[in-house]
Structure 1
Amino acid sequence: MNFAAARLRNHGGLALVLAAFALAGWKVLPLGTLAPASAPTPALFASTVAPPAPAAGSSGGSSPIAGPAAALAPGRLIQDSGIPVETRFIPSTPGMAVHAASLVELANGDLRAVWFAGSREGAGDVAIRSAVMNGTSLQWGPETTLLNRTQIERGLWRYVKKIGNPVIARAPDGSLMLWMVTVSLGGWAGSSITWARSSDEGASWSAPRRLVTSPFINISTLVKGAPVTYADGQIGLPVYHEFITKFSEVLRLDADGEVIDKLRVPASRRTLQPVVLVSGPSTAQMFMRSDRAESVMTSSTTDAGQTWSPATAMVWPNPDSALAGAVTFTGGRWLALNPAPRGRESLALLGTAAGGSFDTATPWLVEFAASMMGTDRSLQAHERALTTELLAKGVSAADAQADIASAKRQLCGTATCAPEFSYPYLLQGRDGYLHLVYTWHRARIKHVRLDVARAPGAATPSLAGAKP
């Protein structure tokens, strides 16, 4: 072998790869096949609401309520607040590692949830799983497999090592879109986004395709948050980059699901998993996870996403964990997050009226490990707490033991465990109820259905009965 050629392959080739990575992470203007040379002016947001006029004497913002210091007050669970709440586990194979659920409402009012599950995160047996909740009986049907690794490999014509973070949503044309993270080489930083489309409410799916987010190596773009739509039928998909550095951006997809542009959020270095809440035809706010476990980061746009303000920190801490958000039909806004500086032992909802600030919102705790276990994080306390809830929700003793074994594999050391409620996803159904799904101890997906409008004295946006 020619020595110079070998050296070029070993050193020059590496430099080219690193250069390509750097270029792949840059803002893509109309480059190559990503956009025409003269791209049209982007349309306004389609999913807008008309905020109600403030009452006399009102500032029009959120109510003056207790700040974040109350976040972890013992006993302040939403189930104890008088708000009508229903909780249930979505059926899944006992003993599997489950994570990263998302939701879409079907044409008949049912809900479809998707998540990934396998023997462990990143394992070769991980698949995209799904279940459907009957909108009348509110009962979840059995778990099914939407896509497994073999099916994805056949669609992409490439080896797939890992699958994760499925996001399901309805496209402007009425079809369902499913985006997910796939990895062929390395860890999650080597991800690309794979997508498929369904024209029958998720019963069957098109062959998976790779989303081209860069004209170079086309890796290190990941998805987690729900998309937004534009008046011209395009889709804005919030994504994030992980290789070398981390930052948040928004992909603009055409009606065929292909990338035509992308825009990085300024000063969003060290952020992940952006969530976009649209408040008007040209206005929206983005919320981002901090990989330094500092504060929730936020950015905003006043020109329908053509530009975003530099990311800044909120008052709420973020323990390097995902958030979720939703805007209701009346303009109320909701965030679900882990509200502590460290760990994922509590999960809370923040709600504001249209135009309100989350910085002063009262946290409503959905889960709080201390309410179940006190300060005891022993293996025995962890098993007792999980057993009690699983059996109370109708899970058989055998299945409960399999789920507890899964939780122990992922969250426990030799003597102690780290309870986890994480990766929330929010959706308002057409009946006005707010639906929350999240990972419960890495062993189950839990579904919470809230009728917050009936909370006694709750100073929160109205949900129930509202129509789009």
Structure 2
Amino acid sequence: MTSRAPLPLAARCVLALLVLGLAWGLDTWRRPAEPGAAQAVFATASDKQAVDVHALKPVASGKIPMPEGALAAHASNLLAMPAGSKAVLTAFWFAGDRESAPNVQIAASQFDRDTQQWLAARYVVDRHVMGEQLGFGLRRLGNPVAWLDASGRMHLFVVATGWGGWAAGRILHLVQRSADNQLAAMEFEPVRVLPLSWLWNTSFLVRNNPLPLKDGGMLLPAHFEIGIKYPVALRFDRDGEFLGMVRMSQRPYLLQPTLLPQSETAWVALMRDHRPDGHVTAVQTLDAGQTWRDLPDLSLVNPDAAIAGLALAPGQMVLTHNSSAHSRQVLDLSSSADGMQWLSQATLARGTEGDEYSYPAVAWADGSLWLSYTDHRRSIAWQRFAAAGQGTP
């Protein structure tokens, strides 16, 4: 009988991390939901007017300005600003020479309400500065997600990595330090790395917008991504204090959830599918996020690509997604009444083999549906949809 050679130290370390990650996954699945009732807020609630997604038509489009010298851009996020603000929207994304390049930082621009133009972009989060303030180095920054708390203060959640790739990322919680949230003065300071696991809080990432709640708090969708991939929901109160986490699915191949309320307490989350020949996947809660159950896959194909959805009002949902089975060369906008059955509404971008239109973001502001997405990893494109006679200056 021959004896097997022992595994190299590096392989044993990786195996240990995978085992720990799986153990943590089981732990989060058993963790009880944060107590307390929650009710979702629909995107058009502040408008106090009926909306028909089928009446929305494209009224404007273009490219968001890039920071000077930036060669690449990816993973944009759109934040609707309060009524009366000088800006309609704030857009965040990461930009630099390329994804994971040493000079990648978080960039921002705002759509000015008076001029109806995007302002010149600037960097608002520097990994070196953040690393100094946190007391440890940051190697990468990405996937910014913004939220306004009950007092109008801006919070930014960013994926930050040290050693390792994106699967070793942690969620960094930043908060507005500047006196106001105008682009020229915008500054952020770290609150902390979100305390999501005893494994150095590693391998939790964000991508899509929070779901606002009637109590002024929100539910932030996130996912775990080392060895296995599964979605989680992070609960925050009206001031941005982290309250707890609930695992949303038992399946090990789901990531980047987007939250869509069907009613105040019944919600669905749609997700990217990491399997070959995947479809948009779904889970549902009927008790405002305290428990979740897996649903059958949707008919929409998913080429292991990010999606983004928004529930404008009850029975009025939109979803942006790549509709080609094995590529990101087509980006579509679809609509639904229940979040499960979807109809094609518009093609946002269509290319040929090798083209990429990906990582969409959506927001509702000034009576319009706004969309942004990565265009060939070189820039961020945007489009605006509105009903006839609305959404234009």
The TM-score, its normalising length taken from structure 1, stands at: 0.72
2:4 maps to none
Cα offset, 1:126, TM superposition: 0.5
Partner in structure 2 of residue 361 of structure 1:
343
Going from structure 1 to structure 2, the CA distance change for 1:18 and 1:296 (only over 3 Å counts) comes to closer
The structure-2 alpha-carbon separation of the partners of 1:343 and 1:13, relative to structure 1 and needing over 3 Å to count, comes to closer
Mapped contact 2:334–2:342 kept (Cα < 8 A): no
Picking from 100, 103, 106, the partner of 2:81 is 106
Pick the aligned partner of 1:279 from 262, 266, 285. 262
Quick one: distance in 2 between partners of 1:274 and 1:367?
22
Q: CA deviation at 1:211?
A: 1.1
1:292 counterpart SS class: coil
1:187 maps to which of 159, 162, 165: 165
Of Structure 1 and Structure 2, the greater helix share is in 1
Do residues 433 (structure 1) and 335 (structure 2) align?
A: no
1:250: which partner in 2? Answer: 233
Q: Is this contact kept in 2: 1:345–1:368, CA < 8 A?
A: yes
Paired residue total: 368
Q: SS at the partner of 1:454?
A: coil
Unpaired runs of 5+ residues, structure 2, are: 1-6, 46-51
When residues 155 and 316 of structure 1 are mapped into structure 2, their CA distance, relative to the original with a 3 A threshold, is: same
| 1:38-437 matched pairs, under 5 angstroms | 41-48=35-42, 83-92=57-66, 93-94=68-69, 96-107=71-82, 108=85, 109-198=87-176, 200-201=180-181, 203-207=186-190, 209-293=192-276, 294-329=278-313, 331-352=315-336, 355-356=337-338, 359-370=341-352, 418-429=354-365, 431-437=366-372
C-alpha distance 301-150 of structure 1, shift in aligned 2 (>3 A): same
Match of residue 22 from structure 1:
22
Distance 1:186 1:138, change over 3 A: same
Correspondence for 1:449 among 366, 373, 384: 384
- With over 3 angstroms needed to count, the CA separation of the structure-2 counterparts of 1:140 and 1:11, relative to structure 1, is closer
- Check conservation: 2:105, 2:125, Cα contact below 8 A: yes
Per-residue CA deviation, residues 320-339 of structure 1 (Å, 9 max, x unaligned), is 11001112256511000001
Of structures 1 and 2, the larger Rg is shown by 1
Aligned-partner Cα distance in 2 for 1:244–1:191: 13
Deviation per CA, 1:388-415: give whole Å up to 9, x if none: xxxxxxxxxxxxxxxxxxxxxxxxxxxx
- For residues 45 and 82 of structure 1, the distance between their equivalents in structure 2, rounded to whole angstroms, comes to 27
Separation in 2, partners of 1:188, 1:299 = 24
Which amino acid in 2 is paired with 1:145? Y
Distance of 1:14 and 1:224 partners within structure 2: 25
SS at match of 1:153: helix
Question: Distance between the aligned counterparts of 1:149 and 1:232, measured in 2?
Answer: 33
Shift of the 310–95 alpha-carbon distance from structure 1 to 2, 3 Å rule, reads same
Task: Look up the equivalent residue of 1:425 and give its one-letter code.
Answer: A
For 1:422-462, what per-residue CA distance to the aligned partner results, in whole angstroms no more than 9, with x for missing partners?
A: 00000010x211000100111110110111x239xxxxxxx
Q: 1:320 to 1:49 in 2, by over 3 A?
A: closer
Structure-2 change in CA distance of 1:162 and 1:84 (3 Å): closer
Q: Secondary structure at the match of 2:293?
A: coil
- CA RMSD in angstroms comes to 3.0
Q: TM-score, normalised by structure 2?
A: 0.85
Identify unmatched segments of 5+ residues in structure 1: 1-6, 52-60, 64-80, 371-376, 378-417, 456-463
